[in-house]
Structure 1
């Protein structure tokens, strides 16, 4: 049965302050049992604490994160054995790539090369009983010679499944529900992240006044925000069923920026809204 959990990236500061076990305990108290781990150093101590949370709290590690080069997560190119070992230690059968290295987007040839690296990594992990997914942002919906970058990635790395981030789909100019439908059968993971448009403030007026040429557009564009699930403009009673119909096994709440709110409070709001919408059975 599919589950709704939490992407721990939004709690990386809390992990640094208290350690992962305490963060996972607080998530358990909030009613979250499943997590995805990203941008949290997978030190031996961190993995031990996570394993203890699995044993003591029943925490399920739905997915771990890795990259194709240097970055905030271990590399599938340089640290593949460690990624596999960490996944086995935590009883996790899914790994996801958060984004291609930025240079990969600069040319078709660079994207093809990176995608083929991802394909090799996916095949290597599959031999270990671990699936590899790719997480989109908005840039993958850019077109080059009539083809989206996401289509290129999928063509060159057919062994990858997808982690669809519906906020970034919306920001990329696509409809999340329709996009999930188009990707049915390739979707394994989904990020539940709302898309809020903030109202203009006095600060925006000041930014416009001091911004010089182009200041208005920069400030006006910055009205787009990340939001707690149910506090933005995405149609969640349509999005969540579309994600399930597309094949998602884990749906992770994520809010990249909390704009001064405590992230635990943000997660509480998202959970309450999802329960009110009738999705409590997935939590």
Structure 2
């Protein structure tokens, strides 16, 4: 598996993207995942200068639906292997009919894009619907791939290892973040996520990219180092 950092982790760094990417490359990551596309041409040049690859790009659902041609061009310029739906609100998972409509919407979007569409979870997708979760229904009813956020799944009370087994062959990207028992983001290795088991399960499920993310790091620079040190130890 290749290693990357989700750039949302570094959003508080007050420096140009090129400098951020240089930091990421110097730390030893193989790539980055974008939170929004921004200026894809400038980003592509900065990536090339830093020697980094792209794990994927998070693009909001409104842009994916209403700006398809523009997003297609941006993804080509970035050479992003995946386009990721980063969030859908709780209404999309409120009941069985809502999940069915969400699955159909995601599959329709997937057919419009040249690159595989993935859905990235938070915790609200794991509400119960008729003795199963909305997320499990989505997995059964949609044909798209998934970017499993192991931390959010654990925060919702689900075992990410079990989910990775369920998503075998459909989960090319995994977000590795640690959380406290209360579901709050924390430094990798300080929380309750069973990191080694998650990484082993991701490998078995055919995951290509292991992406470190910390939603609220106190020190983004330190988070860069913490993330790659943790990933290296887990992958060695």
Equivalent pair of 2:92/2:98 in contact (CA under 8 Å): yes
Say which SS state the counterpart of residue 62 (structure 1) adopts. strand
Equivalent pair of 1:184/1:247 in contact (CA under 8 Å): yes
CA positional deviation for 1:54: 2.5
The aligned runs of 1:1-283 (5 Å cut-off) are 2-14=1-13, 17-38=14-35, 40=36, 42-43=37-38, 46-69=39-62, 75-125=63-113, 128=114, 130-158=115-143, 160-197=144-181, 223-258=182-217, 261-277=218-234, 279-280=235-236
The residue aligned with 1:211 is none
CA positional deviation for 1:105: 2.9
d(CA) in 2 for partners of 1:179 and 1:76? 26
d(CA) in 2 for partners of 1:115 and 1:263? 35
What's the TM-score, normalizing by structure 2? 0.91
d(CA) in 2 for partners of 1:151 and 1:182? 9
d(CA) in 2 for partners of 1:157 and 1:67? 19
What's the TM-score, normalizing by structure 1? 0.77
Residues 170, 247 of structure 1: alpha-carbon distance in 2 compared, 3 angstrom cutoff: same
d(CA) in 1 for partners of 2:19 and 2:214? 20
CA positional deviation for 1:100: 1.6
The residue aligned with 1:220 is none
- Which shifted more, 236-245 or 100-109? 100-109
CA positional deviation for 1:109: 2.9
Equivalent pair of 2:95/2:134 in contact (CA under 8 Å): no
CA RMSD after TM alignment: 1.8
Say which SS state the counterpart of residue 233 (structure 1) adopts. coil
d(CA) in 2 for partners of 1:112 and 1:182? 19
d(CA) in 1 for partners of 2:32 and 2:160? 22
CA positional deviation for 1:184: 1.2
Aligned length, in residue pairs? 236
- Note the alpha carbon deviations across 1:128-154, whole angstroms, 9 max, x for none: 2x1111111222221112232113323
Equivalent pair of 2:92/2:99 in contact (CA under 8 Å): yes
Say which SS state the counterpart of residue 100 (structure 2) adopts. helix
CA positional deviation for 1:95: 0.7
Residues 168, 224 of structure 1: alpha-carbon distance in 2 compared, 3 angstrom cutoff: closer
d(CA) in 2 for partners of 1:185 and 1:95? 17
Residues 65, 276 of structure 1: alpha-carbon distance in 2 compared, 3 angstrom cutoff: closer
d(CA) in 2 for partners of 1:88 and 1:251? 22
d(CA) in 2 for partners of 1:163 and 1:89? 22
Equivalent pair of 2:18/2:47 in contact (CA under 8 Å): no
Where in structure 2 are there 5+ consecutive unaligned residues? Answer: none
